[in-house]
Structure 1
Amino acid sequence: MADSATAQEFDILVLGAGSGGYAAALRAVQLGFSVGLVEKAKLGGTCLHNGCIPTKALLHSAELADHAKDASKYGVNLSMDSIDMAAVNAYKDGIIAGKFKGLTGLIKSKGITVIEGEGKLVGTDTVEVNGTAYKGKNIVLATGSYSKTLPGLEIGGKVITSDHALQMDTLPKSAVILGGGVIGVEFASVWKSFGVDATIVEGLPSLVPNEDPAIIKQLERAFKKRGIKFNTGVFFDKVEQNDDGVVVTLADGKTFEADLLLVAVGRGPSTAGLGFEEAGVTVDRGFVITDERLHTGVGNIYAVGDIVPGVQLAHRGFQQGIFVAEEIAGNKPAVIEDINVPKVTYCDPEIASVGLNQPQAEEKYGKDNVETVEYNLAGNGKSSILGTSGIIKMVREKDGPIVGMHMIGGRIGEQIGEAQLIVSWEAYPEDVAALIHAHPTQNEALGEAAMALAGRPLHG
């Protein structure tokens, strides 16, 4: 172990420079702390380099491909001849490079000390990086996550993860996607737009199983219409590779043949071998256990982001990073509740949700004490202009506030901001119905849904 007697010391030492880590570092500097930021790869972490940004760039290219195919419906004569993956990747990588350059410059300008290399916790106040010890009066663990696989399912050859899929320079003719959650449906959506014959295999009874049942029904209907195949309710058994591709076998004996298998079964916390448990931090199935204020219960060690049990979203980690910096400063920030973290799945059609879905609300308040309304986007002028369909569903406690909002439709994720305010501030439908929503926008649909839930629908 390195000698820590003369180790460089910081007020706050952050282990990991992804969304949660760099947010903690930036807010800590604003609060007057000295900060060391340890990162083994690149500033920005998974979200910038292998997650949010590159996948959404691909989804935008996919949207443009669909627009080209359907342009004649809108009086524009175009043709979609082919997908140039080299150009798609150049566009994607250009976005990443620009954001990385901006973040790197920002971190440098704020006087944050960036320590390159893999950090390991070697005490309650010490992190070792490349044989050198660094001390922190406070330590923030923000080591992120990795693409998971299943026991016995090895990644390699024609069995890939989303990390590999983001770097592909050629498209397969066909693909099986193992997992019908966020990653799976987003890649299925991209690949279908690019002309790939995509089939999702999901062991649970439906796609995106954590969403409201009404949203699930709408997505599955839309995917069928788009020609995206899916098989739900039967678990994966095995995959065999051959010269032609892969043969995927399910537990019921059903088989699927394709050029490759994309394993999209979620992300695991990156905590193994980093000394957390040895330092006394409680780790359960790889996740760091904290209290509601993100403290580990050991020394002045906190944890944020994907390594903390809960929804694995970049903006959650980002907000947690800010929270911890505020907490260390003694500012007593409000506790971040996972249920009020907005979620968007950027497939086509998009899904956006915040708060309790109907089954969760009925479990909490009782079935007879929950009221819901579904507003069909067919009645929304801007949605008709965009050529999209879907619904906005509001869930309220009977005679009480709105406790959940769930939406599906093209570009509907842009409405999640107001939805989060409505749920987080415990607004009543009557409050939202009184607000003025610009016409014609999809945002109007939130107002219409609120009027319906308040018992005074104008268009229904």
Structure 2
Amino acid sequence: MTTSCWHEIVDTTFSINGTEDPVADNAGTSFDLVILGGGSGGYACALRASELDLRVALIEKDKLGGTCLHRGCIPTKALLHAGEIADNARDGADFGIRTTLEGVDMAGVNKYKDGVVNRAFRGVTGLIKSRRITIVEGEGRLVAPNAVQVNGTRYEAPNILLATGSYSRSLPGLDIDGERIITSEHALQLGDVPRSVIVLGGGVIGVEFASVWRSFGAEVTLIEALPRLLAVEDEASSKIVERVFRRRGINYKTNTPYKSVERTENGVRLTVESGETFEADLLLVAVGRGPSTTGLGLEEVGVATERGFVRTDERLRTSVEGVRAAGDIVAGLQLAHRGFQQGIFIAEDIAGLDPAVIDESGIPRVTYCDPEVASMGLTEAAATERYGADGIETFTYDLAGNPKSQILKTQGFVKLVRAKDGPVVGIHMVGARVGELVGEAQLIYNWEAFPEDVAQLIHMHPTQSEAIGEAHLALAGKPLHVHG
């Protein structure tokens, strides 16, 4: 553990405006809520619980903010934005601007990326300290249904939250060396742009790194065992991403299971089950993330798990009374905002506010590759399974008809899925910056809006949000800028 990043945090108590935390009067070990893990789910729960006058201890062995802030969402999106700048410089002539891309200064890119992360880290740390939350630095272990032990000290509470996050998975026999065979954590620290890279895994992490490395000028080959990239998204979204990736020069192979890898004199050689081989400087293993539950003492206390994930009910209660779980260790979408909302839910549930159960289908999803992919609710396949082939209606609005998308020179669509004669149950978007549109999509889905409800809303012109309005107008039976 690197303690230099914790210079403002003391082990169990801290002072605010010269006044010591009152928890210290009780030796600092008895609380209303003890949280194991300071990532998105853990710190959100701590902040909300503190607002509700609960005494909270937050235990973290590394840095507050967790994977998302330090090794996931934030640094990767900073790299992707730097890649967008590189593409803009390279393609300036398309907009009548004479620009050239002289190269990518990874030291400068990393300085920018790390600056974003460090500012967010200081903000989170300061906010948590200001709420009189006791921060405990160290590796915690559940030793009883009401107790967590850290560095030999026992912290007790009637409510325990497990929120220890996830780690980068590998495959049997595929050893990560951190040099030529790397995970996303290593990829974030590279000092140079690789000349060539193989990305093993076509999910969100693999697709995003393939996109940014191509923007930086690397030769990229993407290997995916499943039939398509971004397999959890609507099939139409996958197809357009694959089409744009081909145009960008990103090579990809689907339906291609991994067999083996070996180090060569200059890099790596990957062999797939068909016998075909691929060579590159680096191999990024992006086959998903596993729950960080090993060594937490769950089995000894009786907390049930399945494939390493903590089993919970709809209110995120585990098999042991008083013990909750949130975030990546709970099976489902491994998204920071999911964990964040779960943390708030748990704090309010403990405080007796009886919050509404979180609808997993109502959680927005965004993949920040070029083009971006954003979605809300059910895919067409999932809606067909739920309502039947004759029980749904779909409509796809091509962004070619959207003036702002033409200005941005982006391709994509807004696709709607509705229950027949009912509400919209799925919204799927592909194109530049469509991640910024998913907020409205979330409202449409979670408020069970009918196409007619959205069609009457005014969408600012010219914006990409007009595409959402146009799609709903068409599905409501009054298409305007749609042929046929």
Moved over 3 A (4+): none
In the alignment, which of 124, 139, 154 is matched to residue 103 of structure 1? 124
Match among 74, 80, 93 for residue 72 of structure 1:
93
| SS of the residue 1:359 aligns to | helix
- In structure 2, what residue type is equivalent to 1:154? D
- Corresponding residue number in structure 1 for 2:72: 51
1:88 to 102, 109, 118: 109
> Structure 2 counterpart of 1:338, which letter?
E
Which stretch shifts more, 16-25 or 294-303? Answer: 294-303
Match of 2:6 in 1: none
1:26 to 31, 34, 47: 47
Tell me the equivalent position of 1:416: 438
Could you tell me whether the CA contact under 8 Å between 1:9 and 1:137 is conserved in 2? no
Deviation at 1:151, TM superposition (A): 1.1
Choose from 304, 308, 326 the match for 2:330: 308
Cα deviations across residues 96-134 of structure 1 (Å, max 9, x unaligned)?
A: 110001111111111000000010000000101011111
CA separation in 1, counterparts of 2:412 and 2:426?
17
2:137 to 116, 127, 132: 116
Letter in 1 for 2:462: P
Q: Which amino acid aligns with 1:86?
A: A
Q: Tell me whether 1:364 sits opposite 2:397 in the alignment.
A: no
Whether 2:361 is the aligned partner of 1:339: answer yes
Is the Cα–Cα contact under 8 Å of residues 353 and 406 in structure 1 kept in the other structure?
yes
Match among 169, 176, 179 for residue 198 of structure 2:
176
Task: Give 1:79 deviation, angstroms.
Answer: 1.1
Equivalences for residues 140-289 of structure 1 within 5 A:
140-156=161-177, 157-289=179-311
Residue of structure 1 equivalent to 2:318:
296
Whether contact under 8 Å (1:12, 1:137) holds in the other structure is yes
Q: CA deviation at 1:242?
A: 1.6
Moved more, 117-126 or 67-76: 67-76
The amino acid that maps onto 1:145 is S
Aligned-residue offset at 1:299 = 2.0
Cα deviations by residue, 1:289-347 (Å, 9 ceiling, x for unpaired) = 00000000312110000000100000000000000000001111011111110000000
Deviation at 1:7, TM superposition (A): 7.3
Amino acid at match of 1:355: G
Deviations 1:254-310 (A, max 9, x none): 100000100000100000011012111101111000000000031211000000010
Amino acid in structure 2 at the alignment position of 1:9: S
State how 1:125-140 maps to structure 2 within 5 Å: 125-140=146-161
- C-alpha change, 1:6 and 1:57, in structure 2 (3 Å) is closer
Q: Distance in 2 between matches of 1:427 and 1:204?
A: 34
**1:100 is aligned with what amino acid?**
F
* 2-structure distance, mates of 1:41, 1:370: 47
SS of alignment partner, residue 157 of structure 2: strand
Runs (5+) with no aligned partner, structure 2: 1-25
Separation in 1 of the partners of 2:376 and 2:164?
Answer: 26
CA offsets per residue over residues 374-410 of structure 1, 9 Å max, x none? 0000000110111111010000000000000000000
Pick aligned residue for 2:406 from 377, 384, 393: 384
2:58 is aligned, of 37, 43, 58, to 37
- The amino acid across from 2:165 in the alignment is G
> C-alpha deviations, 1:32-65, integer Å up to 9, x for none?
0000000000000000000000000000000000
1:363 is aligned with what amino acid?
A: E
Determine if contact 1:7/1:135 at 8 Å carries over to the other structure: no
SS at match of 2:161: strand
In 1, Cα distance between equivalents of 2:391 and 2:66: 43
For the aligned residue pairs, the C-alpha RMSD in angstroms reads 0.9
SS of aligned partner of 1:322: helix
Contact (CA 8 Å) 1:125, 1:299: kept in 2 or not?
no
For 2:475 and 2:234, the matched residues in 1 are separated by 17
TM-score, length-scaled by structure 2: 0.93
**Unaligned residue ranges in structure 1 (runs of 5+):** none
Match of 1:396 among 418, 421, 436: 418
Q: Which amino acid aligns with 2:455?
A: A
- Which amino acid is the alignment partner of residue 79 of structure 2? L
- Find the residue that maps to 2:298 and give its secondary structure: coil
Name the SS of the counterpart of 2:31 in structure 1: strand
Deviations 1:8-49 (A, max 9, x none): 111010000000000000000000000000000000000000
Give 1:137 shift: 1.6
Corresponding position of 2:14? none
Distance in 1, Cα, partners of 2:468 & 2:339: 27
SS in 2 for 1:175: strand
Secondary structure, aligned partner of 2:315: coil
TM-score using structure 1 length: 0.98
Is 1:321–2:343 an aligned residue pair? yes
User: Which amino acid letter does the alignment assign opposite residue 260 of structure 1?
Assistant: L
Offset of residue 6 of structure 1: 7.5
Distance across 2 between alignment mates of 1:132 and 1:8? 8
Residue deviations 1:343-363 (CA, integer Å, cap 9, x gap) = 000000000001000010000
What SS does the corresponding residue of 1:8 show, helix, strand or coil? coil
**Distance in 1 (alpha carbons) for counterparts of 2:378 and 2:297:** 36
1:368 shift after superposition: 0.6
Structure 2 vs 1, CA of residues 118 and 77 (structure 1 numbering), >3 Å: closer, same or farther? same
Q: Is the 8 Å Cα contact of residues 7 and 133 (structure 1) preserved in structure 2?
A: no
Deviates more, 1:221-230 or 1:71-80: 71-80
